[in-house]
């Protein structure tokens, strides 16, 4: 097999041809859909070879059966064009012409879920990044922008609803029981934002009046049985539209905005112009079927896709290397929105926890890449945590360095300068620079350099000189293909905390900075001398996680306990609690490795927990976060060699000892947060539920009698899925299978008709910590509700097992690895995008002991022997390099 080639940012060339207008006609049939495409083409003046000689027109196209090509009304003979598996090339075209192609495609056989496919009997599309080439021949690149007119023809009984981008302009009946609708999208867009949906759907309709007084029709289209799960998405959509007007001055620009829920979808959702297509898991929610976390995810994803209307659609990306231009910025926007709608400190804690576990692991692994990669083999592999989450952190640093007003001026300028254009990251940063007068030359390294910087901090107090000198040193370890790392601009928000728990006034080089400051670390090492310091302070560093780095400071556990109580920054109070817990967990891990299973948990952590449980009532939502021990995945990230068994034992033991000592407090916490009244997805109620369920989880960790009773009663009362799922999970994960198994059975009987609930049923079982789980995973793969062609099912069963059940996935007999590899091999044929994502845990083998490394490599090599898709090929080659 010829090896797939890499594409390089440095090779970018502007397109030789532009498409002035795109007219599409779809005659829908599941196994043979005919697509007629009429393109008005114009050769770019710079690309013309002479006065009338034009460069070849090279169109992308894959899995298409070509029926006909004509130019300006004349059908071409087969020797007048060249056709390959990936391209259609035409030579000697007039500088302006009309090209018509007719192709036939097979949506029913499309299990890759890119292009036009069938999901639960409806037609839908996914064109980002390069799916449009599976629909018709086209210059499938984001810097070719056109207006689209789309006519969708289909059988009226099967597909009463026919949707595409823009506004419906014509509809009518046709012979043979068919009908059609024509849609016109007046906005210039690249083909990756094209969408089509056809099916038997019903809508939840509402409207929104924009800031300039225009009425916009809002429609959420779903299968009839899901109509009672659309209210939360609609509420979130309206809140997002309002927020974007108020915070960014962005108004919606069409008369209609539609969302469609589909069951088979590779990602979360897609921002197609005026017609967002969503994975049903990111749009459908009601309190019987969805947890609080799912509600928050719906709110966040609805906002994310809506915000793309400006950051992504009105201003799009010049090429796919610029992906973070739209994704990093849009994630930053949706994170800010969710923070405004809920508890801002909790949102920050959750986002940082995710970044530090998953993105830092990516940045330390074989597929590490910069926020703007320099090359890729398969662009689908680059929809990563680095592009999205680290990209958002980079925008957040820009926003914080500029301050609210200058950042808003910068974003206004960016949208004004680039509206209707395909832009680059330089365009974004240059608008920020122009609006603020700040030089971003060195800052741009954040986009080019992979890896997580480490900042080592140390402090010296000089009692005689009354100074406190803080020294910061930055280093970034080499990443694949990038050995040399240059110093970055690292904003470190900080304060100095006095012994009585107050922020000291900061004076640096004679300048009074107030009680908090942002130090800008720009060199490999820098010292900052604070004057007028009477007594040794405790530094509070990287407040609010002001930069995506690993910051080390040699805190004593007493200092951590002190900051956990007194830091004026809520994020850092949580962070210090996590550091203290991590230290205590590391003691227990060491004890486990020595064979000492009687070891006791550090008293200082017990005291800290007692303080949390009995002290002044603080923000409930933050308290729930503070009562959660660092996850196994986060603990693993901190270890040189990951010992999954020690980590699992230490965390379980710490939980059990906390529960034993603080049993009464946890019971009291449970009861104090049992709520009556109607369910609402408000963050106050969510905080109560998470506190209550955290308490229950501690009690169930020791299989406490009262805990067992409470869990069973909670499951039986069944007021909402958050409480049901929490109780069911604890019962299923306990040793008491005589309680867990019947509960699982009853749950399946009640919910077998609801795929999203069944996803949860799978996830609950495959996270069971006992060793019997692997057989259960294999057994469940045969369950009628499971399907390898449905990405949600694959994620719920296989992804959850491999990603969250770490002790069992990493079993020393290698059976967990083998199971994952078997699935990857199957999926490589069915859905390469999902195959290349689900494989991730196997690619991280270097983090484990030699025996596990060997087992994981064996499985990767077994995968490498297959005929691989580009997606899996790229990941496996990088992992084994
Ligand atoms: N732009 C979407 C993400 C997305 C990317 C690829 C997809 O299909 C392979 C689907 C969605 C977003 O950021 O939400
Ligand atoms: Zn996005």
Distance set, CA 679 to CA 163, 438, 685 (Å):
34, 48, 8
Banded pLDDT at 616 (limits 50, 70, 90): confident
Is the CB of residue 334 below 6 angstroms from any atom belonging to ligand 1? no
Distance CA 328, CA 317 (A): 12
Distance 129 CA to ligand 1 centre (A): 8
**Token pair belonging to 765:** 């079982």
Q: Catalytic residue positions? A: 305
Q: Residues 6 or more apart from 776 whose CB is under 8 A from it? A: 765, 766, 768
User: Whose C-alpha lies nearest to ligand 1, atom 5?
Assistant: 128
* pLDDT score at 708: 97
Distance CA 766, CA 788 (A): 16
Phi then psi for 263, rounded to 5 degrees? -80, -30
Where does the chain hold its CATH 1.25.50.10 domain(s)?
752-881
Banded pLDDT at 51 (limits 50, 70, 90): low
What digits encode the pLDDT tens for the residues 378-421? 999 999 999 999 999 999 999 999 999 999 999 999 999 999 99
* pLDDT score at 675: 82
Distance CA 407, CA 396 (A): 10
Which of 41-50, 464-473, 545-554, 794-803 has the lowest average pLDDT?
41-50
Is the CB of residue 387 below 6 angstroms from any atom belonging to ligand 1? no
CATH superfamily of the 752-881 domain: Peptidase M1, alanyl aminopeptidase, C-terminal domain (1.25.50.10)
What digits encode the pLDDT tens for the residues 507-541? 999 999 999 999 999 999 999 999 999 999 999 99
User: Whose C-alpha lies nearest to ligand 1, atom 6?
Assistant: 128
Distance 126 CA to ligand 2 centre (A): 13
Helix axes 323-341, 344-354, angle to 10 degrees: 140
Is the CB of residue 324 below 6 angstroms from any atom belonging to ligand 1? no
User: Whose C-alpha lies nearest to ligand 1, atom 1?
Assistant: 270
With a cut of 0.90, is the ipTM above it? yes
Where does the chain hold its CATH 2.60.40.1730 domain(s)?
17-200
Specify the ligand 1 atom closest to the Cα of 380.
Answer: 9
Q: Domain 315-448, what fold? A: Neutral Protease; domain 2 (1.10.390)
CATH superfamily of the 17-200 domain: tricorn interacting facor f3 domain (2.60.40.1730)
Q: Domain 454-547, what fold? A: Immunoglobulin-like (2.60.40)
**Token pair belonging to 104:** 């036939």
What digits encode the pLDDT tens for the residues 409-463? 999 999 999 999 999 999 999 999 999 999 999 999 999 999 999 999 999 999 9
Where does the chain hold its CATH 2.60.40.1840 domain(s)?
454-547
Ligand having the closest approach to the CA of 271: 1
Is the CB of residue 269 below 6 angstroms from any atom belonging to ligand 1? yes
* CA atoms 395, 397, 398, 403: torsion sign: positive
Average pLDDT on 851-867 reads: 98
Residue 3 has pLDDT above 90, yes or no: no
The pick from 135, 278, 383, 385 for probing ligand 1's pocket by mutation, whose C-beta has the most ligand atoms within 8 angstroms, reads 383
User: Whose C-alpha lies nearest to ligand 1, atom 2?
Assistant: 270
Is the CB of residue 271 below 6 angstroms from any atom belonging to ligand 1? yes
The pick from 267, 334, 871 for probing ligand 1's pocket by mutation, whose C-beta has the most ligand atoms within 8 angstroms, reads 267
Average pLDDT on 12-26 reads: 98
Is the CB of residue 267 below 6 angstroms from any atom belonging to ligand 1? yes
Distance 347 CA to ligand 1 centre (A): 22
Average pLDDT, the chain: 97
* pLDDT score at 52: 67
Q: Answer yes or no: are the C-beta atoms of 284 and 229 closer than 8 Å.
A: yes
Phi then psi for 325, rounded to 5 degrees? -55, -45
- Environment of ion ligand 2 (residues, CB < 5 A): 327, 330
User: Whose C-alpha lies nearest to ligand 1, atom 12?
Assistant: 270
Is the CB of residue 311 below 6 angstroms from any atom belonging to ligand 1? no
Where does the chain hold its CATH 1.10.390.10 domain(s)?
315-448
Distance 427 CA to ligand 1 centre (A): 23
Ligand having the closest approach to the CA of 268: 1
Ligand having the closest approach to the CA of 791: 1
Ligand having the closest approach to the CA of 267: 1
Banded pLDDT at 314 (limits 50, 70, 90): very high
Q: Answer yes or no: are the C-beta atoms of 459 and 469 closer than 8 Å.
A: yes
Residue 665 has pLDDT above 90, yes or no: yes
Distance set, CA 705 to CA 583, 699, 709, 731 (Å):
30, 9, 6, 12
Specify the ligand 1 atom closest to the Cα of 305.
Answer: 14
Banded pLDDT at 718 (limits 50, 70, 90): confident
Specify the ligand 1 atom closest to the Cα of 312.
Answer: 1
Q: Residues 6 or more apart from 488 whose CB is under 8 A from it? A: 442, 443, 445, 446, 449, 453, 474, 476, 522
Average pLDDT on 824-836 reads: 98
Distance CA 400, CA 727 (A): 41
Is the CB of residue 266 below 6 angstroms from any atom belonging to ligand 1? yes
Distance 200 CA to ligand 2 centre (A): 28
Average pLDDT on 261-271 reads: 98
């Amino acid at each position: 097999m010829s090896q797939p080639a890499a594409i390089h940012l440095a090779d970018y060339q502007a397109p030789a041809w532009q498409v002035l207008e795109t007219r599409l006609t779809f005659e829908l049939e599941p196994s043979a859909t005919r697509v007629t495409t009429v393109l008005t083409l114009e050769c770019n003046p710079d690309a013309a070879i002479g006065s009338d000689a034009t460069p070849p027109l090279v169109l992308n196209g894959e899995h298409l059966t070509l029926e006909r090509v004509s130019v300006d009304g004349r059908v071409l003979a087969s020797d007048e064009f060249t056709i390959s598996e990936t391209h259609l090339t035409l030579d000697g075209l007039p500088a302006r012409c009309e090209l018509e192609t007719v192709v036939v495609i097979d949506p029913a056989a499309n299990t890759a879920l890119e292009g036009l496919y069938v999901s639960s009997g409806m037609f839908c599309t996914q064109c980002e990044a390069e799916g449009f080439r599976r629909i018709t021949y086209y210059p499938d690149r984001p810097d070719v922008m056109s207006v689209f007119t789309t006519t969708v023809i289909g059988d009226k009984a099967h597909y009463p609803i026919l949707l595409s981008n823009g506004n419906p302009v014509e509809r009518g009946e046709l012979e043979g029981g068919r009908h059609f609708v024509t849609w016109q999208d007046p906005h210039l867009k690249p083909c990756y934002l094209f969408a089509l949906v056809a099916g038997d759907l019903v809508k939840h309709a509402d409207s929104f009046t924009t800031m300039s007084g225009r009425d916009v029709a809002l429609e959420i289209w779903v299968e009839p049985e899901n109509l009672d799960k659309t209210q939360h998405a609609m509420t979130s959509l309206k809140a997002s539209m309002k927020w974007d007007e108020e915070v960014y001055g962005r108004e919606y620009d069409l008369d209609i905005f539609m969302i469609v829920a589909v069951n088979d979808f590779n990602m979360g959702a897609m921002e197609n112009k005026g017609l967002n297509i969503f994975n049903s898991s990111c749009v459908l929610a009601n309190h019987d079927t969805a947890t609080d976390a799912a509600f928050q995810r719906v709110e966040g994803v609805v906002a994310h896709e809506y915000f793309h209307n400006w950051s992504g659609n009105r201003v799009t990306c010049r090429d796919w290397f610029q992906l973070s231009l739209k994704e990093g910025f849009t994630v930053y926007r949706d994170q800010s929105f969710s923070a405004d709608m809920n508890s801002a400190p909790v949102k920050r804690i959750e986002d940082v926890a995710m970044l530090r576990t998953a993105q830092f692991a990516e940045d330390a692994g074989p597929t590490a890449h910069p926020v703007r990669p320099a090359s890729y083999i398969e662009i689908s592999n680059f929809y990563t945590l680095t592009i999205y989450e680290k990209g958002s952190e980079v925008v957040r640093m820009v926003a914080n360095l500029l301050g609210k007003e200058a950042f808003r001026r910068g974003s206004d300028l960016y949208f004004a300068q680039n509206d209707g254009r395909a832009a680059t990251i330089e365009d974004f940063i240059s608008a920020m620079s122009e609006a603020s007068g700040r030089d971003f030359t060195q800052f741009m390294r954040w986009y080019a350099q992979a890896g997580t910087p480490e900042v080592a901090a140390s402090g010296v107090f000089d009692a005689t000189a009354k100074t406190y000198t803080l020294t910061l040193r930055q280093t970034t370890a080499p990443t694949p293909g990038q050995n040399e790392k240059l110093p970055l601009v690292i904003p470190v928000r900080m304060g100095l905390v006095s012994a009585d728990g107050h922020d000291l006034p900061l004076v640096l080089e004679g300048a009074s900075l107030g009680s908090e400051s942002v130090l800008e670390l720009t060199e490999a090492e820098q010292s900052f001398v604070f004057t007028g310091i009477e007594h040794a302070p405790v530094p509070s560093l990287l407040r609010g996680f002001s930069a995506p780095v690993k910051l080390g400071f040699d805190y004593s556990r007493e200092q951590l306990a002190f900051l956990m109580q007194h830091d004026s920054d809520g994020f850092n109070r949580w962070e210090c609690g996590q550091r203290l817990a991590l230290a205590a967990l590391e003691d227990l891990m060491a004890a486990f490795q020595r064979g000492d299973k009687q070891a006791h948990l550090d008293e200082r952590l017990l005291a800290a927990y007692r303080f949390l449980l009995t002290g002044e009532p603080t923000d409930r939502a933050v308290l729930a976060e503070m009562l959660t021990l660092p996850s196994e995945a986060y603990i693993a990230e901190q270890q040189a060699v990951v010992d999954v068994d020690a980590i699992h034992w230490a965390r379980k033991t710490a939980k059990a000892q906390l529960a034993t000592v603080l049993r009464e407090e946890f019971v009291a916490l449970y009861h104090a947060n049992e709520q009556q009244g109607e369910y609402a997805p408000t963050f106050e109620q969510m905080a109560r539920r998470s506190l209550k369920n955290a308490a229950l989880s501690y009690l169930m960790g020791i299989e406490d009698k009262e805990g067992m009773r409470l869990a069973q009663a909670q499951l039986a009362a069944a007021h909402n899925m958050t409480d049901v799922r929490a109780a069911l999970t604890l019962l299923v994960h306990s040793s008491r299978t005589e309680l867990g198994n019947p509960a699982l059975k009853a749950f399946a009987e009640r919910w077998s008709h609801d795929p999203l609930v069944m996803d949860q049923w799978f996830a609950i079982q495959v996270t069971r910590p006992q060793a019997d789980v692997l057989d259960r995973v294999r057994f469940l793969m045969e369950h009628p509700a499971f399907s390898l062609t449905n990405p949600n099912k694959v994620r719920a069963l296989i992804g959850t097992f491999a990603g969250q059940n770490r002790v069992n996935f990493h079993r020393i007999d290698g059976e967990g690895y083998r199971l994952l590899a078997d699935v990857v091999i199957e999926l490589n044929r069915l859905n390469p995008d999902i195959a290349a994502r689900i494989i991730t845990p196997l690619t991280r083998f270097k983090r484990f002991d030699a025996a596990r490394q060997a087992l994981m490599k064996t499985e990767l090599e077994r995968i490498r022997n297959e005929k691989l898709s580009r997606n899996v090929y790229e990941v496996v080659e990088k992992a084994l390099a």
